[in-house]
Structure 1
C-alpha cells in the first residue's frame, strides 16, 4: 500500500510552517507529524518552532509523529530479530497475548548488537518528552507488541488512566507518562495500524484504579465529536503519545506480523513497574545527561522471550 500525500492543516500558527505537516490516513483524518531534517540532527534536538508544534500536538491531540528519526538499518536489524523470536514467544504455554491471539506482547532483544542510540536514546524524542515531563526524565519500559495476521481487534482502552480517581478531577491533569512507539515496518490499516482516538487523554472516563477498557456509551459520545483514526506511519518514524489516550489494536489483514517497539518516558517523581534488565557490558551505553534508563545491569543472560506478560486474556490460544 502506498503512502498517501501530505497537506497542511488550517489550524493557526502551529501549522504555519513548511516542516509541520499532516500525515493523512485512509479515512481522511490526520495526525500532526514533524519533519526532522539534517539541521535538527546537527542541533541535537528540534528547531524551536518544531518543538513547540510537537508539544502543542501532544497537549491537544495526545499524539505526535517525528518522521525519519531512526536509521533504517537499525530498524531492519530489530525487525529481523523480532520476527525470528516470534515463534519462540508463541510457543510459550503462557504466550503473552493482549486480549486476543491477534496481538502479542514482545520485548525487543535487550543486548548487543541490537542496542541502538537512535531507538533507546533518540535525541529528537528526548527533546519532546523532556519538555513535557520535566527534569529527571526516566525510561521505564522497553517492550513492544506485534500485530499478528488475524481478523480480531482489541477493545478500546487506555494503557493507564488518570493518576487520580475520575470523580476527583474537574479537568485532566498534565501528562506524567508518554509512550514512545517505534514501528519496524511501514504501518497502515492493512497491517493493523493502531486505532487512535485523538484528544481522549483529556477525557476523564478512565481514572486510577478503574477499568482501562472504555465503556461503550463513552465511545459513542466521543465518536460523535471525533471518530477514531488509523494513522499511516512510515518506518524510521517515531510516534509519541500520552499514555491516557484511548486506542485499540486492530486486525492485521496481511500474511506478515507487524512488530512495534514501545518505551515509556515518565516524570522523575512517578514510580512505575520494576527495573528493566540489560547486560552489565551495556551500562555505559545508557549514560545520558537528560534521560535515565531505569535498569538493572546484570552479568546474567537476559531471557527476553519469557519476560513479557500479556493482558486481558486468561486462556491463550492460537
Structure 2
C-alpha cells in the first residue's frame, strides 16, 4: 500500500512548544526545526505554540470582535458558504486592521514561522494574501464542504503554505477547523469537484478558464473523501492562543459551526516560494511600506510581501482580498498534468 494512503497512527496535529527565547529571538533549535519540517511533509500541518505575544492577539481580537457584528450586515462582506445543503454557515472573511501601529511583526512576519517556511518553501518566501476567517455563533450544525483552498491545477509538492493565527483559544467548543491530516500527500486537482478534466462538466461547474457560477461545487469529490476516511478520518483540534498554525494549502479541511456566542477569529497569511510568481498582491496603505521593507531586509528569515500600496487610509472591513494562489511561472506550469485544465483563477486586475 502506498505510504501516502496507508493507515495512520497519528490523529492529532504535531505541536512544537517553543521556548520564550525561541519566540523572541527566532532562533529555533535544530530539533524543533526537524520536527516542524517533518510534520509539514507528513501531516501537512504543524502548530508552533508560544510563537506570538498574546497581548498582540488580544489587541487585534478586541477590534475585530467589535467589527464582526457590523460586518455580518454589510453587503460588501464575503461569506464562505460552500455548505452541502446550501445553508449559511456563519463563516465570513474578515481581514486584520491595517493601521501601522497594529502591524505586529510577530503576526505579519513571525520569525519562528518564517524559519520553518524557509525550510519548506525555500529562502525568503513571498506573502501574496492576507485575510481572516471568522466563525460567527448561532448557526446550528451548518458546515462547509471539505475542500482545499485551490481552484486550479497545482503541483504535488509544497508550493503554498498558510500561516493561521487564532486570536483566542480554539477547540470544537468554538468552531476550530476540521482537518484531514496527511491528505495533501496524495491529492491533485483531479480530486476537486470543479476540475473539468476529472468528471463531466455540470452547469454549476466551470469550463476551462471560466469562473465557477457558485460555490456549491467547490470541494473534494465524495468518493475521495470516503476513501480517505477509511485510513485517516478528520479531526477537530484544540489550539492555544499565541500559536501559529502552518498548513499546506493542499490539505483538505472544512469550516464547522461555532457553538459559542462569541465569534472565533483566525487570521491567514499565504506564503509562496520566491520563484513561484503568484500574481496576487496584498493591498496595504502607503504608511505600512517602511514596516514591509524592514521585514524583507531583516537578517534572520526575511519575508517578502508582494504588496500594492495605496496613498490612503484603508478600511480593513472593506478591502478586497484576492484568493488567487496560482502561479505565473510558465516553466512550472508546463510541468503540471496537461489533461486537467487550468481551472478557475480570480481576476486580479481590478484593484
- Corresponding residue of 2:232: 226
Superposition pairs of residues 205-216 of structure 1, within 5 angstroms = 205-207=188-190, 210=195, 212-216=218-222
For the structure 1 residues 271 and 303, does the alpha-carbon distance in structure 2 shift closer, same or farther, using more than 3 Å as the test?
A: farther
Identify the match of residue 93 of structure 2 among 90, 101, 105: 105
Contact in 2 for aligned 1:206/1:214 (Cα 8 Å): no
Contact in 2 for aligned 1:160/1:212 (Cα 8 Å): no
Identify the match of residue 70 of structure 1 among 52, 60, 75: 52
With normalisation by structure 2, the TM-score equals 0.74
Contact in 2 for aligned 1:143/1:308 (Cα 8 Å): no
- Corresponding residue of 1:304: 316
Contact in 2 for aligned 1:98/1:310 (Cα 8 Å): no
Count the aligned residue pairs: 277
Contact in 2 for aligned 1:206/1:212 (Cα 8 Å): no
For the structure 1 residues 293 and 258, does the alpha-carbon distance in structure 2 shift closer, same or farther, using more than 3 Å as the test?
A: same
Superposition pairs of residues 254-273 of structure 1, within 5 angstroms = 254-273=260-279
Contact in 2 for aligned 1:36/1:68 (Cα 8 Å): yes
- Corresponding residue of 1:51: 33
Identify the match of residue 304 of structure 2 among 292, 301, 305: 292
Gaps of 5+ in 2: 1-9, 82-87, 196-216, 324-351
Deviations 1:67-103 (A, max 9, x none): 0111111000100111122133222224310013410
For the structure 1 residues 297 and 161, does the alpha-carbon distance in structure 2 shift closer, same or farther, using more than 3 Å as the test?
A: closer
With normalisation by structure 1, the TM-score equals 0.81
- Corresponding residue of 2:173: 190
Contact in 2 for aligned 1:105/1:308 (Cα 8 Å): no
* Pairwise CA distance, 1:231: 0.6
What SS does the aligned partner of 1:145 have? strand
Distance (Å, rounded) in 2 between the aligned partners of 1:294 and 1:136: 12
Higher strand share: 1
RMSD: 2.1
* Pairwise CA distance, 1:43: 4.6
Contact in 1 for aligned 2:282/2:306 (Cα 8 Å): yes
